[in-house]
């Protein structure tokens, strides 16, 4: 079976920007983000550093309009408005062509709060962003993830959705005690 390339999947992500004034293609911004993150450049300014250090190669491969790469601020604005769940799903759909989780493998699931995202920190109505990841111990890879804004969603429901969406059979999951729910036992 022929495998689809990453561009096919990234092309399915809805661009949140209005058409007027768009100088950089969404696919180029997403590819730069993925490449820089995979190269260890994590954060908006480090993405800018990655683009500066690899400018000639990026221009040669991506062929942007007027041979101009986006600034780290443009990348930040685009990533801030993009649907993270859709981006994560499209990346997962592409990656699963190359990764097969076998029966009996262990998959660890955990959620972690992202530092610096807490609001209302001094009262009971704290709100923060958390990232839930599914990690294949054998392959040493994160196979899926999801973002949670605690004021809107629960980690329990997000984990259940991820497990259902992955459709893994015969896999052993390790989770926090938080996920020991009566209604989930089958």
Per-residue tens of pLDDT for the chain, all 186 residues: 577 899 999 999 999 998 887 899 999 999 999 999 889 998 899 999 999 999 999 999 999 989 999 999 999 999 989 988 888 888 888 887 887 888 889 998 888 777 655 565 565 566 667 788 888 888 888 888 887 776 556 778 888 888 887 778 888 988 887 777 766 545
CA distance 51 to 48: 5
Tell me the sheet residues that pair with 100: none
pTM, full prediction = 0.69
Q: Looking at the DSSP assignment, which residues form a beta bridge with residue 129?
A: 149
* Half-sphere exposure for 85 (CA within 13 Å, toward CB): 8
Please, how many CA atoms are within 13 Å of residue 12, restricted to the half-sphere of its CB?
15
């Amino acid at each position: 079976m022929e495998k689809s390339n990453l561009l096919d999947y990234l092309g399915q992500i809805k661009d949140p920007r209005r058409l007027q004034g768009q100088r950089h293609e969404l696919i180029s911004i997403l590819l730069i983000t993925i490449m820089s993150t995979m190269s260890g450049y994590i954060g908006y300014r480090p993405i800018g550093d990655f683009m500066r250090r690899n400018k000639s190669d990026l221009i040669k491969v991506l062929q942007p309009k007027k041979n101009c790469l986006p600034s780290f601020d443009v990348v930040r604005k685009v990533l801030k408005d993009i649907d993270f769940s859709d981006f994560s799903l499209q990346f997962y759909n592409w990656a699963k062509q190359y990764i097969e989780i076998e029966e009996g493998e262990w998959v660890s699931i955990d959620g972690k709060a992202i530092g610096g995202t807490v609001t209302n920190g001094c009262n009971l109505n704290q709100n923060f962003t958390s990232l839930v990841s599914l990690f294949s111990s054998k392959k040493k890879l994160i196979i899926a993830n999801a973002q949670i804004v605690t004021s809107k969603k629960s980690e329990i429901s997000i984990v259940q959705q991820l497990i259902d969406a992955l459709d893994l059979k015969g896999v052993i999951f390790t989770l926090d005690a938080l996920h020991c729910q009566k209604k989930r036992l089958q």
